[in-house]
């Protein structure tokens, strides 16, 4: 069954690919369909393999460049299903949309349909008025604007996981490590995230979300809710985990949390499972950068204990490497929005838009654009020494504006903690690790983490 689907899909794509070079609209459609197949939040192996086989661009970069070369317009309109979607080509309009979210620009239809398939209340990026309360909860629980001692517990836990196990070298090792780190961070040590939990993301990943929320299999939804509820019941032990912290801060509405907590689980899982191996691959291909990071690790490890505050203050180059690796491999490949008011006019565009109009921002198109980043396809961590760069609207990895990711600093911190213990495990010796993927450092492609294998020389 699976094979038949794969064959039909590959043949259909092959036919499409024949037209790719000539017809921009078909190119865009392929990209949108692939994005949906990839899953708005779940990166399936199937999707990566199809892209690799067909040589289809995975991130929308080439597509963005192609549109930019053909038109000087600020928007490029395409039709997906029976809906028009406006691809945003101009950074000024990106800024207007993100600054106007969620008051003027609400959740994009595709994203809404995807999340609404299994989360009845909270659909990804919330609309007003619910957003105000949820944003406050997210910022307080995820420590958006502070470094909280809860991270010192995470440091201790990560130390045990990394130092007492063999170094992760294959995709399945990173996956196992993700389960441990995610369940500990979100629910505390005793939590369990079985495969049945993650199945829901695949269920909702369907091309049908073009027309509306998908009807997911009731068993998959029940399994998902069961895992959520069981783990929430365990969270009664102080404030070591995010859910315990939510309870401590007075956020006890169970229904609300069951709809919010998956938005914490998935990205943390992705950081360890997907992003960490990509970062290691980039560092293995850039040994001077690896050595500079190792020097910083020595500095924070000198006193044999590591504290969140020290990690935060004394590892600026590691932060720059992480930002650069996210820029080159940003997991959120598109931001989507719905216009909430009629007759909206962008200051630099002649036409007015109407309520319900859809907008798509291809993030990688900006992140790999030489208008905003010099030598955009090279790994240059030092570019982030310019502090202003992180807040520019072109730095879209965690989005910008009022709805920008409240988990940005937590993402960076979790990555730093993992990298520190991996480097300690390697005894600060870069030559103790190698990667099977040799990157073209002048033109770095999106890294397929399913193919990454590392070798650890004891």
Beta carbons of 259 and 280 less than 8 angstroms apart: no
Contact characters 364-403, ligand HEM, x per CB under 6 A: ---------------------------------xxx---x
In this chain, which of 283, 335, 360, 413 binds ligand HEM, going by CB under 6 A? 335
Q: Where are the beta strands (DSSP E) in 334-389?
A: 334-339, 344-345, 352-353, 358-362
Long-range contacts of 21-30 (CB under 8 A, 24+ apart): 24/66, 24/67, 24/70, 25/78, 25/79, 27/63, 27/66, 28/63, 28/67, 28/76, 28/78, 28/87, 29/78, 29/80, 30/56
227 vs 272, beta carbon nearer ligand HEM: 272
| Residue number, 43 or 206, with CB nearest to ligand HEM | 43
Size of the site for ligand HEM (CB under 6 A): 24
| Interaction between residue 263 and ligand HEM (CB under 6 A) | yes
Best CA proximity match to 357, nearest among 85, 59, 65, 46: 85
CA angle 34-38-41, nearest 5°? Answer: 135
CB of 404 to ligand HEM, least distance (A): 6
- Options 25-33, 89-97, 224-232, 262-270: segment touching ligand HEM (CB under 6 A): 262-270
Q: How far is the CB of 326 from ligand HEM (least distance, A)?
A: 6
In the bound state with ligand HEM, the residue whose beta carbon lies nearer, of 50 and 125, is: 125
Cα(337)–Cα(274) distance, rounded to whole angstroms? 26
First vs last C-alpha separation in the chain:
44
How many C-beta atoms surround the C-beta of residue 149 within 10 A?
Answer: 13
CA distance 111 to 115: 6
Q: Which is nearer to ligand HEM, 17 or 147 (CB)?
A: 147
State CA 401 to chain mean position distance. 17
Between CA 340 and CA 346, with CA 343 as vertex, the angle to 5 degrees is: 90
Q: What is the 3-state secondary structure (H, E, C) of 192-229?
A: CCCHHHHHHHHHHCCHHHHCCCCCCCHHHHHHHHHHHH
Closest CB to ligand HEM among 76 and 275? 275
Q: How many CB atoms sit inside 10 A of residue 416's CB? A: 24
Q: How far is CA 351 from CA 221, 340, 343, 359, in A?
A: 43, 16, 9, 14
Cβ 20 to ligand HEM, closest distance in Å? 27
- Single out the segment in contact with ligand HEM by CB under 6 A; choices: 55-63, 73-81, 269-277, 306-314: 269-277
Residues 74-133 that bind ligand HEM (CB under 6 A): 125-126
Give the separation between CA 112 and CA 152, rounded to whole angstroms: 36
d(CA 194, CA 197): 6
Nearer to ligand HEM, 100 or 171 (CB): 100
Q: Which is nearer to ligand HEM, 106 or 381 (CB)?
A: 106
User: What residues between 400 and 429 interact with ligand HEM by CB under 6 A?
Assistant: 403, 405-407, 410-411
231 vs 411, which CB is nearer to ligand HEM?
411
Contact segment (CB under 6 A) with ligand HEM among 265-273, 295-303, 368-376, 381-389 equals 265-273
Cβ distance to ligand HEM smaller for residue 24 or 213: 213
Q: Give 16 or 155: the residue with its C-beta nearer to ligand HEM.
A: 155
Nearer to ligand HEM, 285 or 399 (CB): 399
SS (H, E, C) 259-292: HHCHHHHHHHHHHHHHHHHHHHHHHHCCHHHHHH
Among 32, 110, 332, 413, binds ligand HEM (CB under 6 A): 332
Q: Which of residues 136-165 bind ligand HEM (CB under 6 A)?
A: 138, 142
Q: Which of 272, 293, 324, 276 is nearest to 424 (CA)?
A: 293
At its nearest, how many Å lie between ligand HEM and the CB of residue 121?
13
Contact 163, 421 (CB under 8 A): yes
Which residues within the stretch 275-294 sit at the binding site for ligand HEM (CB under 6 A)? Answer: 275
The binder of ligand HEM chosen from 171, 188, 213, 270 (CB under 6 A): 270
| Three-state DSSP class for residue 435 | strand
Closest approach of ligand HEM to the CB of residue 396, in Å: 7
Q: Which residue has the tokens 């950081």?
A: 271
Q: How far is the CB of 273 from ligand HEM (least distance, A)?
A: 10
430/20 Cα distance (integer angstroms): 42
User: Are the C-beta atoms of residues 282 and 273 closer than 8 Å to each other?
Assistant: no
Q: Which part of the chain contacts ligand HEM (CB under 6 A), choosing from 79-87, 263-271, 373-381, 383-391?
A: 263-271
Residue nearest to ligand HEM as judged by C-beta position: 407
CB of 344 to ligand HEM, least distance (A): 18
Binding window for ligand HEM (CB under 6 A); candidates: 29-37, 158-166, 270-278, 366-374: 270-278
**Under the rule (CB under 6 A), what is the footprint of ligand HEM?**
125-126, 135, 138, 142, 263-264, 267-268, 270-271, 275, 331-332, 335, 397-399, 403, 405-407, 410-411
């Amino acid at each position: 069954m699976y094979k038949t689907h794969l064959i039909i899909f590959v043949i259909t794509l092959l036919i499409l690919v024949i037209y790719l070079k000539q017809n921009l609209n078909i190119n865009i459609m392929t990209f949108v369909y692939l994005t949906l197949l990839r899953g708005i939040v779940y990166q399936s192996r199937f999707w990566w393999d199809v892209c690799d086989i067909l040589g289809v661009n995975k991130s929308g970069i080439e597509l963005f460049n192609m549109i930019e070369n053909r038109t000087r317009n600020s928007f490029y309109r395409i039709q997906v299903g029976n809906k028009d979607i406006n691809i945003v080509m101009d950074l000024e309009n990106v800024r207007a949309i993100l600054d106007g979210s969620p008051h003027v620009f609400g959740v994009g239809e595709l994203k809404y349909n995807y999340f609404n398939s299994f989360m009845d209340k909270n659909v990804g990026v919330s609309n007003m008025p619910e957003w105000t309360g949820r944003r406050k909860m997210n910022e307080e629980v995820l420590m958006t604007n502070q470094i909280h001692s809860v991270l010192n517990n995470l440091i201790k836990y990560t130390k045990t996981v990394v130092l007492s196990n063999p170094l992760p070298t294959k995709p399945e090792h990173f996956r196992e490590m993700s389960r441990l780190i995610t369940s500990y961070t979100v629910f505390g040590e005793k939590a369990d995230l079985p495969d049945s939990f993650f199945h829901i993301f695949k269920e909702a990943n369907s091309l049908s979300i073009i027309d509306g929320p998908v009807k997911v299999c009731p068993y998959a939804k029940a399994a998902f809710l069961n895992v959520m509820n069981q783990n929430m019941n365990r969270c009664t032990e102080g404030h070591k985990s995010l859910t315990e912290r939510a309870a401590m801060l007075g956020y006890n509405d169970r229904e609300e949390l069951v709809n919010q907590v998956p938005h914490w689980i998935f990205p943390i899982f992705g950081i360890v499972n997907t992003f960490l191996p990509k970062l290691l691959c980039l560092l293995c291909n850039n040994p001077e950068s690896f050595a500079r990071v190792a020097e910083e690790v020595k500095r924070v490890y000198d006193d044999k204990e590591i504290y969140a505050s020290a990690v935060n203050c004394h590892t600026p180059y590691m932060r720059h490497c992480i930002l650069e690796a996210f820029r080159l491999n940003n997991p959120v490949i598109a931001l989507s929005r719905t216009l909430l008011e009629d007759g909206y006019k962008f200051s630099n565009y002649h036409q007015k838009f109407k309520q319900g109009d859809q907008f798509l921002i291809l993030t990688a198109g900006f992140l790999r654009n030489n208008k905003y980043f010099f030598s955009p396809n090279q790994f240059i961590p030092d570019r982030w020494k310019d502090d202003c760069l992180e807040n520019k609207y072109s730095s879209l990895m965690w989005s910008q504006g009022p709805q920008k990711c409240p988990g940005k600093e937590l993402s960076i911190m979790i990555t730093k903690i993992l990298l520190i213990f991996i480097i300690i495990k390697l005894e600060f010796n870069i030559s103790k690790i190698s990667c099977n993927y040799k990157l073209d450092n002048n033109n770095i492609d999106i890294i397929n983490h399913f193919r990454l294998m590392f070798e650890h020389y004891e």
